């Protein structure tokens, strides 16, 4: 019993340490946002927040720019998630269930696209978006982010569909179900955890994306928060408290979304690893 208690204690301590490491950056942003200039440049770091400085959050939201940035980031992230999942499900199903010439090459090409950095795609995408009048629009960013994250979403869903017994679809085919019906009524409910995991990946990619946003967006009213926060950095000075306050608010939705979907992430990432 003593060994069991020691083992449980060590596990609890280990979990608390990992949680502390993960949460500390968010906590430090909050503390820094509530620190005065004297505290920021003091010899000893301030470890506890000064709640008398909570007005910095109201000041950061006063002109409405920060709320506009957060709204734009949410639109881009949700649009990218919906579009990439909507296209990734049929693409993953086709790669898993249908046989066609170049199937293996298609899967390899999808995998190789993840080795390309975003900076390499900026120039051709800029020319393409300029031709189709997609510059300085949230729609253009949704399309660019979806194109970048779609391959990994499709491959995750393909692996999950590979783990579904084909006998289920054969039974549906006997009842006269078409491929689209089998996909929506048989496969999609069974790969729900993998869809959630892929949605988290797509959401985080679009939420944190900076290269495409800073290149394709010009107007302040269409900038996402990732670009807006960077605009606080000036030649003369940088309002550190305001930057940290907006960054804290920018981080919270992503953390909340992950906490909501975390149980599906683990199940989804392991789905399809072993065929049944």
3-state secondary structure 203-224: HHHHHHCCHHHHHHCCCHHHCC
Task: Give residue-wise pLDDT tens across range 42-78.
Answer: 877 778 888 887 888 888 888 778 889 999 999 999 9
Give the Cα separation of 19 and 28 in Å (integer): 14
Residue 147 in this model has a pLDDT that exceeds 70: yes
| pLDDT tens sequence across 98-131 | 888 888 888 888 888 888 888 888 999 999 999 9
Q: How confident is the model over 250-267, as pLDDT tens digits?
A: 988 888 887 877 776 665
CA distances, 97 to each of 100, 103, 106 (Å): 10, 11, 14
Tell me: pLDDT of 272 over 70. Answer: no
Tokens read off for 276: 């049944």
Query: Could you tell me which residues come within 8 angstroms of residue 159 by beta carbon, excluding any fewer than 6 positions away?
Result: 194, 271, 272, 273
Extents of the domains making up the chain: 1-53, 63-270
pTM recorded for the entire structure: 0.83
Dist. CA 162–CA 106, nearest whole Å: 16
Where on the phi/psi map is residue 21: left (φ > 0), alpha (ψ -120 to 50), or beta?
alpha
Query: Residues 83-104: what's their mean pLDDT?
Result: 90
Compute the mean pLDDT over every residue in the chain, rounded to the nearest whole number: 85
Neighbouring residues of 261: CB distance < 8 A, sequence distance ≥ 6:
196, 197, 199, 200
Reported as a pLDDT band with limits 50, 70 and 90, residue 269 is low
What fold, for 63-270? MetI-like fold (1.10.3720)
pLDDT in tens, 210-226: 999 999 998 888 999 98
């Amino acid at each position: 019993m003593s060994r069991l208690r020691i083992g449980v204690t060590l596990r609890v301590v280990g979990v608390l340490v990992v949680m502390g490491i993960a949460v500390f950056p968010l906590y430090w942003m909050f503390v820094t946002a509530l620190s005065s200039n004297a505290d920021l440049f003091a010899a000893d770091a301030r470890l506890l927040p000064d709640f008398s400085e909570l007005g910095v959050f109201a000041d950061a939201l006063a002109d409405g720019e920060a709320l506009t940035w957060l709204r734009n980031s949410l639109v881009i992230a949700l649009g990218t998630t919906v579009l990439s999942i909507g296209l990734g499900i049929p693409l993953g199903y086709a790669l898993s269930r249908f046989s066609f010439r170049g199937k293996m090459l298609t899967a390899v090409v999808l995998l190789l696209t993840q080795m390309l950095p975003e900076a390499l795609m900026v120039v051709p995408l800029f020319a393409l978006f300029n031709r189709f009048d997609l510059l300085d629009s949230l729609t253009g960013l949704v399309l660019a982010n979806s194109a970048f994250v779609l391959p990994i979403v499709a491959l995750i869903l393909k692996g999950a569909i590979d783990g579904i017994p084909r006998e289920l679809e054969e039974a549906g085919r006997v009842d006269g179900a078409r491929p689209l019906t089998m996909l929506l009524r048989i496969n999609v409910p069974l790969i729900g955890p993998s869809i959630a995991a892929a949605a988290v990946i797509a959401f985080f990619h679009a939420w944190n994306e900076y290269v495409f946003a800073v290149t394709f967006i010009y107007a302040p009213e269409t900038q996402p928060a990732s670009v807006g926060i960077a605009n606080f950095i000036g030649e003369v000075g940088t309002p550190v408290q305001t930057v940290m306050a907006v960054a804290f608010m920018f981080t919270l939705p992503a953390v909340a979304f992950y906490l909501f979907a975390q149980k599906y992430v683990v199940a989804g990432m392991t789905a399809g690893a072993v065929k049944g």
